[in-house]
Amino acid sequence: MKKISFVIILTGLMFFVACQQNGENKAKNSDSTSVATIDSNTTTPIVLVYNFYSTHRCPSCIAIENATIKTLDSLYAEQVKNGQIKRFSINIDDAANAKLCEKYQAFGSGIFVTQILKGKENTVDLTGDGFKFAMNKEEKFIEILKSKIDEFLKQ
């Protein structure tokens, strides 16, 4: 029993340390106030993609953001260009982002996709899928992200 407890604690510690490593890809920090300029009463769906991250990023966190960028650049370039899809890279350690982090309960790395339509917001948290697939099964994560974005664009 002591060996099992030790292994569990050690595994948790390794994950914690990995997520504290400084990542090579530092994303631009989008100003969370830019979200306020979105017309929430639009009759055309707007999709917001939020990549939350901490200053020190693990390889999985970086992989999630890279796969998200790849997805939007390759599959949704026109929608991004015309503003129907907006991506935000939010540093949770920046005090200026506190309200947005609180709204999404993002206290660590995460990816959230939000649809704004007719004054209502519909949000899905893809963080679990991102950590599960983005690093080693990127295409699976892209498939999940694409499916959710497509669903939100159709309504």
**Adjacency order of strands within the sheet including 46-53:** 85-91, 46-53, 110-117, 120-125
Give the pLDDT of residue 123: 96
| Number of domains present in the structure of the chain | 1
pLDDT of residue 1: 66
pLDDT at 5: 55
- Here the CATH number for the domain that contains residue 76 is 3.40.30.10
pLDDT lower than 70: segments of the chain: 1-42
Tokens read off for 50:
């939020």
pTM: 0.75
Residue 128 lies in domain: 2-154
Structural contact between residues 112 and 52, judged by C-beta atoms closer than 8 angstroms: yes
Q: Are strands 46-53 and 85-91 parallel, antiparallel or unpaired?
A: parallel
pLDDT of residue 16: 46
Structure tokens at 26: 């530092």
CA atoms of 83 and 77, how far apart (whole Å): 10
